[in-house]
Structure formats: structure tokens, C-alpha cells
Structure 1
Amino acid sequence: MDGNAQLAALMREAGFLKDDGSVGLKVFARAVGQHANRTFTHTYVRRWLDGMVPRDAATRQAIVRALGSRLGRSIAVDEVGFGAALKVSPDLGLTYPNESADNVKTVARLWQGDLDSVSALLNAPANAAAWNEAALSWLVSTRQDVFSDTGKRKVNQADVDGIRSTTEMFDQLDGEHGGGHARRALIEFLRTDLAGLLGGTARDAAVQRDLFKAGAQATLLGAWMSYDAGIHGMAQRYFIQALRIAESTGDRLLGASILDAMSHQATFLGRYREAANLARSARMGTANAGSASAAAHFYAMEARALARLGDAAECDRAMSAAVREFERRDPANDPADWFGYFNESELAV
């Protein structure tokens, strides 16, 4: 087995390792153990230096934190030589999956890569082509997903309620303190709790659909929090995978709300043409959904992007349509209840 030169170099830089490799292994083992809340010996450290990669994310994170604490800077998992073993493609999550099972595997790997601080994901910029592909795939899809009946985890309504209530708690924290405050804790929850449930089986198909709806909303929150924290490449990946989870539920308004969020991100990043197209896709995909509130919001998002493009005529058209849809809305009976905040003041803004 080849040695881990990257780990050795960082340990040497941090003062944990001398050139002959004979000093500091026990000290490093204790430092890692303090971050992992368990005991390691110098034998573990020697194995890591020999090239063994710890299987559990907690140990890998404890290693990078021990190094980061001594060096006074943040260390990513792949800087320690563990990135190749994680086999994380820099394109992970950018493709809109054809199969629901692939979607679940992809988003679980994204959550794990996020927790492992894989720099190829956390430092990646947004990809304009990925927005376009996801929007088109969702818009023209005629898939009828059949949920797995072979999952080992048995899912019930209590599981779904747990996902919803925990997501609401994180949403409240996000609103009070910003996305960077509890983002990692949310991703940890999604990786440890939601991933297993999405791969499980419910006896009642309605429960399974409710689970995927809750999963889409939780993944969407992770995308928003990543966006708020400035981690735009990861946020984009979460948006795309949340959109695919939403498609599995058959709830077109839920999917359109995710496209609406993607349009918001694209506008923020200066990709105004893509932002307008994402908003149009959301509107076109829900033309028969019966939600004037949603239609008004999609038109407004489109107008916002067109204004930044300097297209006055098309911007006026979209804004006129937004006002028209807004005036015919019926908030008490609107199926898109998550657009309830979209009032006169929001439209004016």
C-alpha cells in the first residue's frame, strides 16, 4: 500500500511528525481522539500514514480538525489525501438523474461529500449548463416513478412527520441566524436520517410520496442554506437533486418552486438569461396547476431577470402578466400554500 504523503506533509507542518517519523504519533492520536470523542493509538496513525483511509466520516473529520486546529486554518478532507478514496466526481449532482434510485444515491453522496469537506464540491462554481438541463428534463418529463419495494428500512407516517418537524426547526434557525449558522447540522441530519428513509419502503404509497415530498423540501432548505453561505456550486447541486426528488412525488408546484429558487440563484450570480429560462420553465410546467399566486411569482422572477438583461419590452410583458395573475389569485384556496408570503409588498419589490 502506498503511503499518504499528503497527510505526512500536513502532520510535519503542524509539528506532529519529525522527518524520521519517529516522534509525535501518540500526540496526534490524542488530538484526533479529542475531536472524535474516542480513543486512538499511534498504531492507527501509522496505518493512516501507510495509506489506509478511515471508513467513517467522523474519524476523517476528526483528523482534519486536529490538523486545522494546530495549523490555525481550515483543512479539507482531500487535502489530507482522503479525496481519491472517497471517489467523488467533481460533476457529482450536476446531472438530472433518470431514475429515482440514482437520485437517492446521488444526493446521499453529495451530503457525505459535503460533510467530508471535499473541496472539489465546496469550492466549485455554479454550472450554467446544469441549470438548463435540469429545467428541460423536469419540464418534458413523462416519467411515472415506481418506488422501491425492496428497501430494508420500513417507513411509516411517524418517520415522515419527524423529517417535516426537524426541517421546520432548521428553517426557523435559518430565518433567525442565517444559512451558515446550522447548515452543517442540517446536512448531518439529512445524511444520517433522510438518506436511509428515502432508500426504504412504505406499505402505503401515499406515505412514500409524502416522504419524498418532505425529502425534497428538506433538500431544498439545504440548497438555500448553502446559497446563503456562499457555497454556490453545492447549492446548485442540492437544488437539482431536490427537483428530481420532487418529480417523484408528482407535485408539479413543488418542483416549480424549486426552479423558482434556482432562478433566484442564477440572478444573484449574474446569469440572467438562465434565470429567465428557469422562471419560464416553472411557469410553463404548472400552467394547469390552478395557482395564480405561483404564476404571478414566476412571471415576477422572469421580469426581474429580463430587467437585468436590459430587455425592457419583455420585462414589461412579464410584469404585466405578473400583475394580472396576482389580481386573480385566491390565497385561501390556492394549492401553492408556500407562496402565501407573496403579497402586495413582495410584488412591489
Structure 2
Amino acid sequence: MDGSGAGAKAGTGKRPNERLSSWFVRSGWSKGELARQVNRRARQLGAHHISTDTSRVRRWLDGEQPREPIPRILSELFSERFGSVVAIEDLGLRTAHQSPSTSGVDLPWAGPQTVSLLSEFSRSDLMLARRGFLGTSLGLAAGPALIEPMQRWLVPTPGADQPPPGVASTAASGAGQRRGGLSTPELELLESTTVMFRQWDAQCGGGLRRKAVVGQLHEVTDLLQESHPEATAKRLFNCAAELAELAGWMSYDVGLQPTAQKYFVLALHAAKEAGDKPLGSFVLSSMSRQMIHLGRPDDALELIHLAQYGSRDCATARTQSMLYAMEARAYANMGQPSKCKRAVRMAEDTFDDADLDGGPEPDWIRFFSEAELNAENAHSYRDLAYVAGRSPTYASLAEPAMKRAVELFEHDAVHQRSYALNLIGMATVHLLKQEPEQATVLASRALDVARKVRSERVNNRLRKTVDTAARDYGDVAEVVDLTDKLTAQLPETAQAV
């Protein structure tokens, strides 16, 4: 028994699953290929008991309902194949019953519930990771089911004049409060630890320290269940928001998309409790990036506009520039070149004002450097090129900005994942310009970096780029050599999460 069946024999009163069959036929996969992909994804999730074969796939098509985590895995695989969200229900499969704390994104916008949900979800994540079922009990939200709850980020919370959870009343006798509260050095240590985790993520990828970040988040939520002065409680909520966003980003980086979305949503709730609208806009930008990755640029644009509106009076020029750059990415993927170009110009013009702000900026936005600005704008033009049918004009617009990003990241010892991603981006630009030999040089350099960075996102983009080169230029010697090198040096193995 491989754990992927429904426990009943095939053909016993079941009707063929026409929905699953339709998606399967359109995918172009064979039964064996789908089985291999399911097994690979299961290993990445830690579900090592899954061992699917062609006969099992045939039984699913015949109507057998697989047990979790198979429905979730199939949903993710087909979503990635078609570039848009393919829900479990779209495949004619049933979802397991989920408690409100682990399903959906429409959560109560109130401090006590935010603390409780952060604590429960981080604890479950740590426990399920040890048991080998990480991320298998969640589903992705998209469209109105995602956007409408996020719009409540700007709605005042009922009872906002009451002290939030963890805040000690000035009239309270101090019962239940930590003696003396958290000291300033203790708070600063918590905050500096988050900075350190963020640097590790940029340098080593999300697969190396994700569980450590989740563990730190759980510790902070424990502190939030105690009484503190209001200023301390807000700093703790801010710390929780940053850690939850980082846990979401690292989950996204290793391919755990539903888990990532859940952390992003909880991070936005915590940012609201902290009263930090710029941080909330940053969380929304991370959610927007994920939606672009999942082929939902309309949702990405809604999230970015919400971020821009919510932080219009308080975000620094650097943060506003980042939001314009993400707006350009969304417009590019929607095939709207004039709006994309306008957003690119706004990103560049606003970034020029970043040094004029004067005051210190939060650590979470410091990643948005000149290199990152060039990288985002280059990817916008690159995406436009693909949407416009591999347009060489937009590829030419992407090339100088991508080249500049690669030059800057090459000498950045911290942002190695960004270096790899932009090497891959530059390789795709050369492919768009029908220059396969130059593309293989960049992709080979990216492979050298990818071997040091534990990022499934980098690995998948590199594999996809090399697959495209092999499909279009399979008779070019450099492409053949790179394909062999990739197979030998970057095997498809599970990521540590």
C-alpha cells in the first residue's frame, strides 16, 4: 500500500474522472511521467511513503479518489504546467476536511486571533515538517477569494481603541506581566536575528534556514501572549510580521506555495496590529510576486494597487519604487506594454529620490538596490517579450537592464540567489534574440551558483531555460553539452525545508 489510493478497488462502482482526464490529456504527459512528478514532489514535501506508478494513475483517471497529499500535489503540478491555478475541485477530486485555522485566507482581523493563528500555524508547520507532511493540508486562494479579504487590511478594526493583545493596561496591577517586561537589548536581539535570517535567505536560498525562521516566529508569538507595554507589544507584532513574511518567502522559494500564501496572509495581519503600513505594503508585494509566478497577473496587480494605496502617505521612495516595479511586472504579464513602460519609468524616477529621504529605512526594503531595480525592470520587458510572441524588440529593451543587474550582483556576496536568477534571466533574453551560444554561457554560470544556493525556484527556472534551449536549438553543440552538465550536476532531489 503506497498511501496514495483511496483504499477501495478500482472499478467498484466508480465513474471515470472526466475532469482529471481532460487536464491530463491537455498536459501532454504520459501516465509514467505524471507518476514520476508526483513522487518527486512528494519527496520534496517529505511524504516519503508515496510511491505512485502508472497503474495508480490509471485508477485515478478511472475515478479512484486519492488520499492526501496527492490531490494537493496534482493541483500544484497542473497549476505549474498551465501557468494558472488549477484547483483540486477542477480536477474532480475531493479535499480533506480542514479546520478554519489551516484553510482559507479570510481570517478575523483582530489581534487575539492573529496571535492564536500565528502560534497554531507555526507550531503545526514545525510538527508536520518532522512527520513528513509539510504543506499538504492547504489550498491556494486566488481571485475574489484572495483579494476581497486582503482589502480589509485598510478597514479599521472594531474596538481599535482597546489595547491589543499583549498590551498591559497602565491601570493594571501587573499580574501576568513579565517582571520588568522585555528589555530593550532583548527586543533588539530579536530584531537583529530577523535581519540575520534575511541575509541567510538571500545568500543561501530558502531551503537552508526555513525551519529556524518558523521556530523563531513561534517563539515571538509565545511572547505576544504575555503582557507588555504598548510600545513593546507593537515591536513584537512588527517582528512577528517580518518573520512570517520571511517564512512565507522561504516557503515560496522552495516550492511550498500554499504554505507561503498562508504565512503572507498572517504577516499582513500582524503588520496591521503593529500599525506598520509600509511593512504591510511589502507583504502585499511578496504576495503579488507569488501570483505572477502562479500565472495570476490580474490578482498581482490588485494586490500591488492595494499596497500602493495603503502606504501612499508613509512609504519611503525606495519602497514606492519597488511597488512601481512590481506593478510593471503585473502589467507586462497582462500584455499591456504602455502601462508597463509607464510603471518602469515611475520606478526609475522614484528610485532616484531614495537618497533624499534622509531617515533610516527598515531592513526589509534594503534589498531593493540599483541591481534589484534593473533586474525587475529587465524582467518586465522580458515577460512582455514572451507575452508578445517572443518579441525581439522587448528582448532588446530588457538586455541592457539585465546586463547591468548581472554586473552589480556579481560582486554582491550576499544576494547570490538574485545573481543566479538574473544570470538565468539574461540567458532567456539571448534565447529570445536567437543567440543560443551566448545563452549557454550565462546558464552555465547560473548552474555554478545554483549548486551553492538551496532554492527550488532557481533550480526550476534553470531547468526550464535549458529545456527551452534544447527544444529550440537541440542541434547546437553548446546546448547539448549544457543539458548533459545540468543533468549531472543538478539532479532533481528534494529540498530541505
- TM-score, scaled relative to structure 2: 0.49
Output the CA distance in 2 between the equivalents of 1:93 and 1:190. 20
Match of 2:368 in 1: 342
Once the 2 structures are TM-superposed, how far is the Cα of residue 311 of structure 1 from its aligned partner?
Answer: 1.2
Relative distance call for 1:290 and 1:112 in structure 2 (3 A) is: closer
The secondary structure found in structure 2 opposite 1:161 is helix
Structure 2 counterpart of 1:200, from 226, 232, 236: 226
The DSSP-based 3-state class of the residue aligned with 1:96 is: coil
Instruction: Specify which of 101, 110, 117 is matched with residue 121 of structure 2.
Output: 110
Query: Residue type matched to 1:169 in 2?
Result: M
1:336–1:273: structure 2 CA closer, same or farther, 3 Å change rule? farther
Measured after TM superposition, the shift of residue 304 of structure 1 is 0.5
Give the equivalent residue in structure 2 for 1:138.
153
Q: CA deviation at 1:142?
A: 5.6
Change (3 A) 1:169 1:346: closer
Provide the rounded CA distance (Å) in 2 between the counterparts of 1:89 and 1:242.
Answer: 17
CA distance in 1, matches of 2:350, 2:155: 24
* 1:262-287 deviations in Å (ceiling 9; x for gaps): 11111111111111111111111111
Contact 1:88 1:113 in 2 (8 A): no
Task: Please state if 1:168 is matched with 2:202.
Answer: no
Q: What value does the CA root-mean-square deviation take over the aligned residues?
A: 3.2
SS across alignment from 2:311: coil
Q: How does 1:272-291 map to 2 (within 5 A)?
A: 272-289=297-314, 291=316
Closer, same or farther: CA 326–182 of 1 in aligned 2, 3 Å: closer
Q: 1:183 aligns with which of 198, 210, 218?
A: 210
Deviation string, structure 1 residues 17-44 (Cα, Å, up to 9, x no partner): xxxxxxxxxxxxxxxxxxxxxxxxxxxx
Residue by residue, what CA displacement relative to the aligned partner does 1:190-226 show, whole Å, maximum 9, x if unpaired? Answer: 22x1221111111x21111111111111111111111
| Paired position in structure 1 for 2:140 | 126
Displacement of 1:291? 1.7
Q: How many residues align?
A: 272
What secondary structure does 2:140 align onto? coil
Deviation at 1:187, TM superposition (A): 1.8
- The answer for the alignment partner of 1:101 in structure 2 is 112
Q: Quote the Cα distance in structure 2 between the aligned partners of 1:347 and 1:341.
A: 10
Cα distance between partner residues in 2 of 1:341 and 1:176: 12
- Quote the residue 1:38 is aligned against: none
Distance in 1 (CA, whole Å) between partners of 2:214 and 2:352 is: 39
* Paired letter, 1:348: N
Determine which of 316, 337, 341 is the counterpart of 2:341: 316
> Which residue of the partner structure matches residue 248 of structure 1?
273
**Distance between the aligned counterparts of 1:298 and 1:73, measured in 2?**
40
The partner residue of 1:147 within 140, 164, 170 is: 164
Give the secondary-structure state (helix, strand or coil) at the position aligned to 2:209. helix
Residue pair 1:153, 1:200 contacting (<8 A) in 2 also: yes
Evaluate the alpha carbon distance shift between residue 334 and residue 271 of structure 1 in structure 2; reply closer, same or farther with a 3 A threshold: farther
Which residue is equivalent to 1:73? 48
* Contact 1:294–1:336, Cα closer than 8 Å, also in 2: no
Which stretch of the first structure deviates more once superposed, 301-310 or 180-189? 180-189
Separation (CA, whole Å) in 1 of partners of 2:243 and 2:212? 12
| Residue identity in the other structure for 2:116 | K
Structure 1 residues 298 and 264, CA, compared in 2 at 3 Å: closer, same or farther? same
CA distance in 2, matches of 1:243, 1:178: 23
Q: Does 1:258 align with 2:283?
A: yes
Give the partner amino acid of 2:227. Answer: T
Do 1:153 and 1:196's aligned partners in 2 also have CA atoms closer than 8 Å? no
Candidates 285, 299, 322, aligned match of 1:297:
322
Pick aligned residue for 1:237 from 226, 240, 262: 262
Structure 1 unmatched runs, 5+: 1-5, 8-67, 80-85
| Residue type at the aligned position of 2:141 | N
Identity %: 31
Where does residue 398 of structure 2 map in the other structure? none
| Partner Cα separation in structure 1 for residue 195 and residue 350 of structure 2 | 29
Q: Which amino acid aligns with 2:124?
A: G
Q: Choose the corresponding residue for 2:332, options 307, 312, 315.
A: 307
What residue is the counterpart of 2:449 in the other structure? none
Structure with the higher fraction of residues in helix conformation: 1
Unmatched tracts of structure 2, length 5 or more = 4-42, 51-67, 70-96, 169-174, 376-497
- Give, in whole Å, the separation in 2 of the partners of 1:108 and 1:91: 12
- SS of the aligned residue for 1:180 comes to coil
Contact between 1:242 and 1:258, CA under 8 Å: does it hold in 2? yes
Structure 2 residue matching 1:179: 3-state secondary structure: coil
CA contact (8 A) 2:214 2:247 kept: yes
Q: Which moved more, 1:316-325 or 1:228-237?
A: 316-325
1:248 to 1:321, Cα distance in 2 relative to 1, 3 A: same
The alpha carbon displacement at 1:89 in A equals 4.4
Cα distance, 1:87 vs. partner?
7.2
| Distance in 1, Cα, partners of 2:193 & 2:209 | 12
Q: What CA deviation, in whole Å up to 9, does each residue of 1:42-78 have, x standing for no partner?
A: xxxxxxxxxxxxxxxxxxxxxxxxxx9xx99258xx8
8 Å CA contact retained: 2:205, 2:250: yes
What residue number does 1:22 align with? none
* Deviation larger for 91-100 or 211-220: 91-100
Q: Tell me how far apart the structure 2 counterparts of residues 190 and 93 of structure 1 sit (CA, whole Å).
A: 20
